Chains A and B, each alone.
Chain A
């Protein structure tokens, strides 16, 4: 990965984190807010591969851990694992369709929220039963909506010459 690309991803994930903490809590729908950092990590994993995604997920998750007094490392771990999985799953499909990242955002949001909560339960930080299924599914839906906006944006910045099925369909 080029230095320019590394700098670009650093700026994107930092911006996503600031937006997540300072702005998105005001954008709650049905009591939940989306997780922009996770959406960005998954989309980067789809575009740049599992390692880039995992590093973005780790860095973004670490920023979130630092900004809240919860156990440091939990968000970093769950987001890095999720993004790595996204990049690995993407390699199984040969498609530029927007459907793939969008579906990955939905299912992997459920995965990340479950892993995050499971780790907190194992650490004794969360009481059982912790899994609020409605909240997890609502967050996954909201993340998917956000993915529909973020994916074309990131793709435009990353590969300005290429067109995916989404941009073709819009013309």
Chain B
């Protein structure tokens, strides 16, 4: 094919792709949460859920190997050889150990669930995570068919994980508390100072107190306050790890290290009762 017509054809295809994408973006923004494109997203998540779970299981040995590699760079050669032997043994027992760990985690979740008698929860597995670095999300394998609704809180025995922001019939998307768009009403367990815990797309979150001179100290435990109506009060969030006094008029900078180790999560609980106030209000309308 001559060069000039081929170039024209290439441009035409690119323009067509741009038009399709811009149309999708426009439709998506203009439609409600029940619109066709949102429903397609929900349907796709349901479709992806079992495949993602299978993929996660298949590649878990590689993941474990990578984690070891990243976290053990400073070891001596002799120690590395010993660890290699251990890793080989681990690999052989990986499946059995994986099942054992999952069983243990489920037991802990059950114990946590029993201690929170007034909360009704649904257990779910994590089958995927956000595909880019702009968001901190997780995909779980339970959805509206298990009673899960938008804005419901997601927890583990360690504390608050996040809340549901999108629901399919057999899957849902959890926005972690570390996501930069996340904001949860919180308070200090010691001083009862209230504020908001905001995500920063980092491993830690930031507590923004209501008062400029709030009584907050390093080591304080932060828990949910229940304000905002989406997350029940009294769920542990994390511990204050850093405190920076700002100039007058500026908010106090309080860094909080979450109790939940997000990189190690495989099972979570979704609190389905009491329902978030925002869900009740929406249903009443």
A interface residues (Cβ-Cβ under 8 A, vs B) = 17-23, 25-29, 31-33, 35, 37, 49-51, 54-55, 58, 64-77, 80-81, 84, 113, 116-117, 119-120, 123, 126, 132, 135, 139
Chain A CB within 10 Å — which of B14, B55, B133 has the most?
Answer: B133
Q: A27-B66, A66-B41, A80-B14 are in contact. Are A17 and B21 (CB under 8 A)?
A: no
Residues of A within 8 A of B25 (CB): 71-74, 77, 119, 123
Interface assignment of B115: CB less than 8 Å from any CB of chain A: no
Q: A21-B48, A23-B63 are in contact. Are A67 and B21 (CB under 8 A)?
A: no
Chain B residue nearest in CB terms to A117: B134
B interface residues (Cβ-Cβ under 8 A, vs A) = 9-10, 13-14, 17-18, 20-25, 28-29, 37, 40-41, 44-45, 48, 51-53, 55-56, 59, 62-63, 66-67, 70, 127-135, 137, 139, 165-166, 173, 201-203, 263
Q: Please tell me if the beta carbons of A33 and B28 are within 8 angstroms of each other in the complex.
A: no
Q: Please tell me if the beta carbons of B55 and A18 are within 8 angstroms of each other in the complex.
A: yes
- Report the minimal beta-carbon distance from B95 to chain A, rounded to whole angstroms: 17
Instruction: Give 14 pairs: A residue, B residue, CB < 8 Å, sorted on A.
Output: A22-B52, A22-B56, A22-B129, A31-B202, A67-B128, A67-B131, A68-B130, A68-B135, A70-B134, A71-B25, A73-B21, A73-B25, A76-B20, A80-B14
CA distance A68 to B130 in the complex (A): 6
Residues of A within 8 A of B18 (CB): 77, 80-81
Q: Please tell me if the beta carbons of A25 and B17 are within 8 angstroms of each other in the complex.
A: no
CA distance A58 to B16 in the complex (A): 11
CA distance A25 to B127 in the complex (A): 11
Which of B20, B48, B53, B263 meets A26, CB within 8 Å? B263
Chain B residue nearest in CB terms to A50: B10
Q: A69-B165, A76-B24 are in contact. Are A29 and B132 (CB under 8 A)?
A: no
Q: Please tell me if the beta carbons of A54 and B67 are within 8 angstroms of each other in the complex.
A: no
- Report the minimal beta-carbon distance from B183 to chain A, rounded to whole angstroms: 12
Q: Please tell me if the beta carbons of B22 and A26 are within 8 angstroms of each other in the complex.
A: no
Q: A67-B48, A73-B22 are in contact. Are A23 and B59 (CB under 8 A)?
A: yes
Which of A20, A27, A72, A113 meets B131, CB within 8 Å? A20
